[in-house]
Amino acid sequence: MKRLCQYPVLVLSAWAAGACIAASAAEQSYTPPTVSVKDARLPQKRCDHPIYCDGPILRAVQLGGVFDSDKTFVDMPTRKPVSDIVKQFSMLPANASTSQLAAFVDDNFYPAGSDIVEVELEDWNENPPFLADITDPVLRGYGMSLHNQWKTLGRKRDTSFLCNGCESSLLPVKNTFIAAGSNSSREFHYWNTYYVELGLLKSGLFKTARGVLQNLLDSIEQYGFVPSGGRIYYTDRTEPPLLALMVKTYYEATNDLAFVAEALPLLKKEHAFWDEYRSVNVTYTRKATGSALSRREDLEVVTSKTTTFGPSLFSTAIDTSGGDGSGDAYLRPEQYSSDYVLSKTATSGPSLFSTAINGGALYAATEAGTVPSVQYASLKTATAGPTLFATALRRRTLEIPGDNPFAAFTKDQLTVLGSVNINNTISVNLNSMLYQVETIIANFTSILNNNTENSECLSYNKLAEDRRQMLLDLAYNPDTGLFSDYHLESGQHSDVWSVNSLWPYWALGKALPANGTQRALENIAQLHDRFSGGLPNTFYNTTLGWDYPHIKPPLQHMAVRSADNAENNLGDTGSSGYYASYKGTAAKIAQSSINTAFCNWYTTGGTIPGVLNSYDSASGGSSGASFGTYDIDSSGNVVTTTSEASSGDFTWTTGITIWLLDQYKTQNSIPSCPNIKLNLVTKTCKKRGVCSNMRYCRRAKRSGLLQDNKKRSGCKRQT
């Protein structure tokens, strides 16, 4: 019998083998190879629904100021057949007023969200398995609060009330889905589902987890890929490809091989989509590998396929230039007015977006799970901070008082160069994810072939190995051990280093140079020491959602996985000497992530009966909130809030925090909150009487929940 098809094994290139250099990243002048590019991306048709995706109705309503949020209109089911609505709109005056447009909308559309109903989860259980081995009463109580959130988040599509010919923008999914959390997110979102799944599985909600994955697989059957979200206007873009990782995670939790067999053809179909619609061929010269390893002067020319975010759309763009054609852009229906203003004012300023945002750049930004990336002008090396900051904080136009890298940029301090350029960038995290996709498909193919190799398994492993080598050639700096996004047009690494660039240390694991893994672990540990409240994606305060001071839970999860992999892969190398002090970094980041989520839950009204009293009356009756985004201050500590109004799409936080509570249950401790004292329920003991819950008392005493009183023969609660 042939052996199980294994993941690719590391073969170090000559220049990577001796890359460990002690100097800081800022002192290195490594230049990656330049490339010639052949764009292999097939053009993709843009969604052309006459109401929800494009056309004069969408333009008039979204630019007419009818709603505060653009997403409201595109989430409204129609009261009449679409053809009738189009005809009625044609009877409005060319420059209809806001009140006229509002009356038109009221007459023709149901309220946003009318097409979904809240449902009970069929497999709901009151005793989630992840709590079984968590003995600390605060962590148990908080974990149960998170588990209970699932009860209110189940949704199903209901369009039974619509007329014949009436339509909804909600995709017709068959199974219960988990809403993203915020009032405006009335559907599932692609990569958010991975983090939801992590929590569902730890909560023992296996049927619900399978259903949410099946919804994504069904969308591949219909569209050839997973749309960004469960609405028709998302069907011309996707998001980071995590579905293969979701299926792998589900299989590891359930051993449901039948589900894997059903999913595998669709995972291959999604991979083919990224290959055909998002990939480019790059040709470059590198040091020869293989038999020529000992002759460093030998060079070879290679051609590799790499993948970028962003569709190549071929439908008509919107002219936002006032008629001269210089401002054509594809505007996202759910952010239409803000995209319009952004594109129209792109060439005026100085402003953060003083650059043309043309073509599909905004769609590429959505796929990347962020907003348009920017380049910062005027080389300026940071003077303080660990190695990683010296790399990241490089481009600023003017001195900021005190050389404070965390001061907010103003229009006089920040200039933006070039274009958005996301779809001309080799994204480290995207290609790391696709490496995971390829190795997972290879392994599933082998498992379903009686754990033996076949040509298909070997083919996907070859794709993964080629992608790994491309990342090492173009995105890896052997002098620093760090990866950076690679700009295809300039042939250079991005000057703005992103925490997302640590993804390879999770995805590729042992298939990376050991010296780079050591440096990566060092930098992750230093980052955590500096930002104990959470790691921002970049260290610029640009006011954009993924930059400092904003903290996104998916990045914390990735940092934990990367640090954990680095620690495991270093083995004995990292258990003694210089790198020994960085062992345990993953557990520290996990604890910090739990602290950040817990502290904001607590200050927004979170309580645990008999264990934890409310923070204060400022919570307004809330029972504690999870948030999709957190903030840190200039010292790196979490900033807490007493209002849940800005909780955002929080379900990824719920899933990730449950996963962390289970994964690090033997290492987690009671959360600590900066400048906040937990209002714990305390118990004192008297000589007479017997505590009816002495086991709880002893456990709580060890956890620090009880007063240190020597007379412990009886117990009496004090609040």
For residue 314, pLDDT beyond 90:
no
pLDDT of residue 495: 67
For residue 372, pLDDT beyond 50:
no
| Interatomic CA distance for residues 436 and 187, integer angstroms | 26
Give the distance, in angstroms, between the CA of residue 129 and the centroid of all CA atoms in the same chain.
26
For residue 621, pLDDT beyond 50:
no
Sign of CA dihedral 504, 431, 388, 599: negative
pLDDT digits (tens, 9 = 90+) for 15-58: 122 222 122 333 345 788 889 988 878 888 888 899 999 899 99
Distances (CA, A) of 590 to 498, 534, 585, 597: 20, 10, 9, 11
The pLDDT of 421-429, averaged and rounded, is 80
* Phi and psi based region of residue 298 (left: phi greater than 0; alpha: psi -120 to 50; beta: remaining): beta
Q: What is the SS3 assignment for 393?
A: coil
| Interatomic CA distance for residues 635 and 507, integer angstroms | 30
Judge whether 361 and 310 are in contact, CB under 8 Å.
Answer: yes
The band of 698, judged by pLDDT with boundaries at 50, 70 and 90, is: low
| Interatomic CA distance for residues 228 and 281, integer angstroms | 25
Burial class (CB in 10 A: 0-12, 13-18, 19+), 269: middle
| Interatomic CA distance for residues 417 and 561, integer angstroms | 34
Closest to 235 in 3D by CA, of 49, 494, 496: 49
Closest to 187 in 3D by CA, of 199, 171, 167: 171
The pLDDT of 522-542, averaged and rounded, is 85
The band of 346, judged by pLDDT with boundaries at 50, 70 and 90, is: very low
Q: What is the SS3 assignment for 153?
A: coil
pLDDT of residue 293: 37
Lowest-confidence pick of 474-478, 485-489, 581-585, 626-630:
485-489
User: At a CB cut-off of 8 Å and minimum separation 6, what does 719 contact?
Assistant: 613, 681
The structural domains of the chain, ordered by start, are 56-276 (1.50.10.10), 513-678 (no CATH), 682-718 (no CATH)
| Interatomic CA distance for residues 490 and 488, integer angstroms | 6
**H helices of 320-360, where?**
336-344
| Interatomic CA distance for residues 17 and 250, integer angstroms | 37
Judge whether 143 and 128 are in contact, CB under 8 Å.
Answer: yes
The pLDDT of 397-401, averaged and rounded, is 34
Compute, in degrees rounded to 10, the torsion defined by CA atoms 605, 606, 609, 615.
Answer: -50
Pairing status of strand 716-718 against strand 682-684: antiparallel
Judge whether 499 and 511 are in contact, CB under 8 Å.
Answer: no
- The DSSP 8-state label assigned to residue 395 in this structure reads B
Judge whether 562 and 524 are in contact, CB under 8 Å.
Answer: yes
* Phi and psi based region of residue 540 (left: phi greater than 0; alpha: psi -120 to 50; beta: remaining): beta
The helix or strand, by DSSP H or E, that contains position 103, with its residue range, turns out to be helix 98-108
For residue 645, pLDDT beyond 80:
no
Give the distance, in angstroms, between the CA of residue 345 and the centroid of all CA atoms in the same chain.
29
Is 294 or 224 the better-scoring residue by pLDDT?
A: 224
Helices 514-530, 585-603: inter-axial angle, 10-degree rounding: 30
pLDDT of residue 14: 21
What are 417's strand-pairing partners? 375
User: At a CB cut-off of 8 Å and minimum separation 6, what does 415 contact?
Assistant: 350, 354, 376, 377, 378, 397
For residue 695, pLDDT beyond 90:
no
The helix or strand, by DSSP H or E, that contains position 585, with its residue range, turns out to be helix 585-603
| Interatomic CA distance for residues 349 and 496, integer angstroms | 22
| Interatomic CA distance for residues 142 and 468, integer angstroms | 40
User: At a CB cut-off of 8 Å and minimum separation 6, what does 3 contact?
Assistant: 452, 453
- The DSSP 8-state label assigned to residue 403 in this structure reads G
Distances (CA, A) of 427 to 247, 408, 522, 535: 23, 26, 23, 19
| Interatomic CA distance for residues 305 and 272, integer angstroms | 13
Give the distance, in angstroms, between the CA of residue 48 and the centroid of all CA atoms in the same chain.
28
What are the helix and strand counts (H, E) for the chain? Answer: 21, 20
Distances (CA, A) of 685 to 601, 681, 696, 713: 31, 14, 13, 6
Give the distance, in angstroms, between the CA of residue 657 and the centroid of all CA atoms in the same chain.
14
Q: Where are the beta strands (DSSP E) in 602-671?
A: 630-632, 638-639
Edge-first strand listing for the sheet containing 630-632: 550-551, 630-632, 638-639
Phi, psi of 316, deg, nearest 5 = -70, 130
pLDDT of residue 366: 63
Judge whether 564 and 520 are in contact, CB under 8 Å.
Answer: no
Lowest-confidence pick of 244-258, 290-304, 362-376, 544-558:
362-376
| Interatomic CA distance for residues 645 and 625, integer angstroms | 9
| Interatomic CA distance for residues 445 and 436, integer angstroms | 14
pLDDT of residue 327: 45
Judge whether 244 and 8 are in contact, CB under 8 Å.
Answer: no
Give the distance, in angstroms, between the CA of residue 712 and the centroid of all CA atoms in the same chain.
49
For residue 59, pLDDT beyond 90:
yes
Judge whether 300 and 309 are in contact, CB under 8 Å.
Answer: no
Is 117 or 623 the better-scoring residue by pLDDT?
A: 117
For residue 716, pLDDT beyond 70:
no
For residue 687, pLDDT beyond 90:
no
Burial class (CB in 10 A: 0-12, 13-18, 19+), 68: exposed
The pLDDT of 564-581, averaged and rounded, is 75
What are 638's strand-pairing partners? 632
| Interatomic CA distance for residues 319 and 250, integer angstroms | 45
Tokens coding 446: 């082998």
| Interatomic CA distance for residues 58 and 76, integer angstroms | 12
- Calculate what percentage of the chain has a pLDDT beyond 70: 73
Lowest-confidence pick of 373-387, 416-430, 573-587:
373-387
Closest to 649 in 3D by CA, of 69, 180, 70: 180
